Amino acid sequence: MKRAKSLSSAAVAVTLSVAAAAGAIGFTVGATGASAEKRPEPRVQDSFDPLGPPMHKLERAGRTVHYSDTGDTGKRGAQPVVFMGGTGTTARAAGMTEFLRTTRENLNERVISVERNGFGDTEYDGKLGFDDYTADVKAVLNKLGVKKAAVIAISGGGPYAAHFAADAPSRVASLHLAAALPPYGAKADYCGKSDAELKKYFGEQIRDPRKWWGYPDDSPMHKIPGFTDTAEEDGARSYYLRGQKGDPSAQVHEQKLYCERPGPDLSDFKAPTYVYTGLKDTTVPPATQALWNKALPGEPVVRKYDDSGHDVQYRHWDQILLDMGGYADRTPVCVGKRTKVLPEDAAERAVEKGATLGSCAWRK
């Protein structure tokens, strides 16, 4: 009997402890209606938030084309944007710009990116070139019912954008070249090296995506939560997703495409063009990027930034979003603790008084 009594007392003690703990966090199981009313009404969303741009595919010319698409922003008639990322990136690299997703959605812009030969999901075929990629982009746009789109090219996406603009000028609403490599002028020094030399060099470079996609310690990219992790993960996706194990074949193939001269004839291209240059860029230096000015028939809008290097496309993505959305006459500036979008002359005066270019998020 004494043993039974002891167990009963312990059970009561445990029950009281559980009730006390529940009370400490503000509610108990079976709370009364009066106590429940004191808590805020819980809300559960009706749709999922994206974990990055979803991947899709279509079959063309006997192979599979992979592409990402942020889809409808929730408003009708979203402005389509074709994103052509840097060398060695996948179609999901477009997600590296989603740190300003709210702004993109406010501007009602939809980002589509078509993956290039040999990276990420896409099988490598050494016979493919710029024309094949252009055909892939057109096939994706046709499938999505997109007749015309803004085109944004970053770094090694530049030559692909040039070929697409030359082949299908009527399908480009505006062209945006951010730290973009022009397929004009003298060839790079590596163009004289053999395939074996290039495979050895790039094989060593891409073995560790953290180094391949690393940003200098003073880069503003480190201010964006998770940005460098996302960049490194896309590098791993590029070179390891299908079990490539860091095979540099696709990288070497793309680098050799960059050596092709002369570049495409852009004389029939009439759409507005914007060039974004980081004055500290040593990968595509300002003098190299200036070659776009000579290749384009019209005079492009050139935006130069002394606060950026080969990260200008991200540091000033807010301006690029505005330009693609038809607000090229506006400039985002941080005045005090508030971001304002001002006419260019007003923005210049604000900067003279201490405002900084871009979203106030860059100040945090």
pLDDT at 269: 97
Query: Residue 92: what residue type?
Result: R
Quick one: pLDDT band at residue 32, thresholds 50, 70, 90? low
Instruction: Dump pLDDT digits (tens) for 50-67.
Output: 898 999 999 999 999 999
Report all structural domains of the chain as residue ranges with CATH numbers, in order of start: 55-328 (3.40.50.1820), 330-364 (no CATH)
Residue 289 has pLDDT above 80, yes or no: yes
Compute CA distances 131 → 164, 181, 182, 271, whole Å: 8, 18, 17, 20
Rounded to an integer, the average pLDDT of 298-309 is 96
Element spanning 35, H or E: helix 33-36
Q: Residue 100's pLDDT band (boundaries 50, 70, 90)?
A: very high
What pLDDT does residue 74 have?
A: 65
**136 contacts 112 by C-beta, under 8 angstroms:** no
The 8-class DSSP code of residue 264 comes to P
| pLDDT digits 0-9 by tens, 104-158 | 999 999 999 999 999 999 999 999 999 999 999 999 999 999 999 999 999 999 9
pLDDT for 312-354, tens place per residue?
A: 999 999 999 999 999 999 999 999 999 999 999 999 999 999 9
pLDDT value of residue 36: 60
Return the beta strands (E) in the chain as ranges: 55-60, 63-69, 79-84, 109-114, 149-154, 172-178, 273-278, 301-305, 330-335, 338-343, 356-357
Residue type, 174: S
Supply 87's token pair.
Answer: 């060398």
